[in-house]
Amino acid sequence: MSITANLKHIKDTLPTQVTLVAVSKTKPNEDIVEAYEAGQRIFGENKIQEMTDKYEALPKDIQWHMIGHVQRNKVKYMAPYVSLIHGVDSFKLLEEIDKQAQKCERVIPCLLQMFVAEEETKFGLDKNELDQILSSEEFKALKNVKVVGLMGMATFTDNQAQVKKEFTQLNDIFVMCKKQYGIQDNLDLTIISMGMSNDYTLAIECGSTMVRIGSNIFGNRNY
């Protein structure tokens, strides 16, 4: 099937409250243009340089989401335009995003990445680290970032029960945090980003409001 047909099929199956991030990493601009012409406006990339090149070349109403692991020294390259940073896994990174956003005179929305998988290769915060950030005076002092939700990745496994357990755990933390911290100047938890091509239907069942889908739209990655 074409990119257009794949997109239509996925969008027809998504509930209205779920936002689709089309993961375009490693894909050429013409593939993104096809998806754009089919109505998709939100694209996810995992390398800042590649995303910046695409931002410069493609229509300016595209929302670019940074979904990969972020190195602090590269934040400045995406600070002028990035729409949402998914993988904020430390307070130091949040501080750097705030600093670069201030230089660009904007507020950058962020998701805090939680570690829920049983894979050591994944990044993320545990519940204690999350609480330490959200309850700290240092966090409340940040004026140019806004934490709008949580993100997490399940273990890459065929064991659906395990994946479901991890997604449920993330959703429980999300609900607990909303209750505990409410809405603040730089905090309004509305997004829970979990679920990719292989597990997004299960993620939605477990409460996801944002899914990151690549290969089901664009086909297998080009490495």
Residue 118 is predicted with a pLDDT of 78
Which CATH architecture best describes the domain 3-218?
A: Alpha-Beta Barrel (3.20)
Domain positions in the chain are: 3-218
The pLDDT score that the predictor gives to residue 69 is 93
Output the pLDDT for position 121.
Answer: 64
Per-residue tens of pLDDT for the chain, all 223 residues:
899 999 999 999 999 999 999 999 999 999 999 999 999 999 999 999 999 999 999 999 999 999 999 999 999 999 999 999 999 999 999 999 999 999 999 999 999 999 998 766 668 999 999 999 999 999 999 999 999 999 999 998 999 999 999 999 999 999 999 999 999 999 999 999 999 999 999 999 999 999 999 999 999 876 5
- List of long-range contacts for 198-204, beta carbons under 8 Å, 24+ apart: 198/156, 199/154, 199/163, 199/167, 201/13, 202/160, 202/163, 202/164, 202/167, 203/154, 203/167, 204/14, 204/15, 204/18
Which pTM was predicted? 0.95
pLDDT at 110: 98
